[in-house]
Amino acid sequence: MTAFTRTQIATAFLLSSVVLIVVGCGPGETRVDRGTRDGILHMGNDTEPQDLDPHIVTGFPEHKILSALFEGLVSLDPETLEPVPGVAETWEESEDGLEYTFHLRDDAHWCNGDPVTAHDFAYAWERILSPRLGSEYAYMLHVIENTKPFNEGEIADFSEVGVEVVDDHTLEVTLENPTPYFLSMHIHYTFFPVHQATIEAHGAMDERGTEWTRAGNMVSNGPFRLAEWRPNAVIRVARNEHYWDNDTVSLNGIAFYPIDSLQTEERSFRSGELHWTGDVPINRIDWHRRNNPEALEIHPFFGTYYFRFNVTEPPLDDPKVRRAFAMAIDREAIVENITRADEEPAPNLTPPAAGYEARTGIPYDVEKARELLAEAGYPNGEGLPAVELLYNTSENHRMIAEALQNMWRENINARVSLVNQDWAVYLSSMHNLDYQIARSGWIGDVLDPINFLECFVSGGGNNRTGYSSEEYDALIQAARREPDEERRLEILQDAEAVLMEDAPIAPLYFYTRKNLRHPDLRGFTPNVLGYVSYKHLYLEPSEEDPSA
């Protein structure tokens, strides 16, 4: 069955479900009304998740669900983004910044009542680093001593890694180098614990795609537990009564709806089916600004929308061709005329962050783009092979892809065809380098520029371009080892300059986060990481009507 057909079926099923639920409610009562009354949050989730295994997935749609199901050693204050206790009640850091001792709370439990221990974290980290599992995000743990050689199979004994279980409630971690953002990393699913007995009841420790993530099987330690997963319809989580901070939790559950069509999601919001959307259709932003400003939320977001080039295939194996494509993009026109949600044009990969700003980028320069193509042997685009641009299902992505298709045709005489795939197939295509140009985006996992730049080291799990540069790799490694913060950021600027010159990617714009939120949903604190503390959300009836 083709991806397009699956999407059609999924959308039709979702719409039919909406009709059935509305019919089942009382006169005039919407799903949101009932959800507010029962303490059930209904929210859009952009797309069907790739999986719910925190050591396998790679996307933001998965992160939103997993953050409700699991909790790491450390959480973040959603307002300040400062580290606050999670499973670890307290911790100490050595003076040289290389050793952390975490003290786990006595009242932390899995949703089946088992205690959460230091062994669970050590087991989880060994699992994600296991070479056979092939986790694309395992590199995030490479800040810990000897994790990289273990992950790459150079050492086989996990006891040589800088993770030591002192006792059930004490975990010692030794880093390769001082890492100022280490504590903040623990909100990411790569650092979440997993329940060993559950993993191994459904397969080997390092086996992918087993049934442990299904409802009825999964054992998690966050404020919610998995109650139901109907693919392409809904994922429901229910309150975890064994969660250590259950008294803080207000919601009784959350229903995540994987709605690929933003138009369908927006209509579902206006008809009272959703408290919160995952995004907003580009062509509806101005309408909501005029007619529904109370519901429309646009916040800064630490992320970048960009396009990847597969550098292993002609003609994109030539950096001159890649730079020509990148320089033929009018970013100002895209954010002013298409996205229209306060985004900023992105000449470089890394969004502005505290103390860091890229020194160089890729400008919009049509004449230079044409010169580069001529130097590459394609004067006026003559002889330039046709290429395909891949994007995942979304009206917003389609509109941007069509704009680039037109710009490249008009500016450099390039023939570009568009290919649309659903989320899972699209991820597989990028992973296997089965594309030529692909829409991409990166949302910062921690508030540090290295989180963007380390994606493109040679062989990195999130590289997905085939790009490799010894100079670039050396600079990223030097930045990781540099103890002086000012010098570390300078090295990262040097690395980004190399990346932009080689152009395995074409940055487009820096994200904003766009949502429609019903006034019944309270307790949300916006932040640049898009981090949501579900245990602080609550539902309370409001007199406002967001469906105007």
pLDDT score of 548: 55
- What ranges make up the beta strands (E) of 342-487? 344-345, 387-392, 416-421, 437-443
Starting at the earlier edge strand, list the strands of the sheet with 224-230: 40-44, 253-257, 234-239, 224-230
pLDDT score of 547: 59
Is 237 in contact with 253 (CB distance < 8 Å)? yes
pLDDT score of 354: 67
Return left, alpha or beta for 433; rule: phi > 0 is left, psi -120 to 50 is alpha, else beta.
left
pLDDT score of 545: 66
* Residue (of 510, 41, 513) closest to 280 by Cα position: 513
Q: Is 164 exposed, middle or buried (0-12, 13-18, 19+ CB in 10 A)?
A: middle
* Residue (of 526, 523, 527) closest to 535 by Cα position: 523
What domains are defined for the chain? 1-69+222-277+517-548 (3.40.190.10), 71-212 (3.90.76.10), 299-512 (3.10.105.10)
Digitized pLDDT (tens) for each residue of the chain, 548 residues in all: 333 333 333 444 344 444 333 334 445 889 999 999 999 999 999 889 999 999 999 888 999 999 999 999 999 999 999 999 999 999 999 999 999 999 999 999 999 999 999 999 999 999 999 999 999 999 999 999 999 999 999 999 999 999 999 999 999 999 999 999 999 999 999 999 999 999 999 999 999 999 999 999 999 999 999 999 999 999 999 999 999 999 999 999 999 999 989 999 999 999 999 999 999 999 999 999 999 999 999 999 999 999 999 999 999 999 999 999 999 999 999 999 999 999 999 999 999 876 789 999 999 999 999 999 999 999 999 999 999 999 998 899 999 999 999 999 999 999 999 999 998 899 999 999 999 999 999 999 899 999 999 999 999 889 999 999 999 999 999 999 998 999 999 999 999 999 999 999 999 999 999 999 999 999 999 999 999 999 999 999 987 766 55
pLDDT score of 546: 65
- Which contiguous run of DSSP H or E holds residue 521? strand 521-522
**Residue 216: how many other CB atoms lie within 10 Å:** 9
Is 253 in contact with 227 (CB distance < 8 Å)? yes
pLDDT score of 132: 97
Is 280 in contact with 266 (CB distance < 8 Å)? yes
Cα dist. 89→75, 170, 171, 221 in Å? Answer: 11, 10, 12, 15
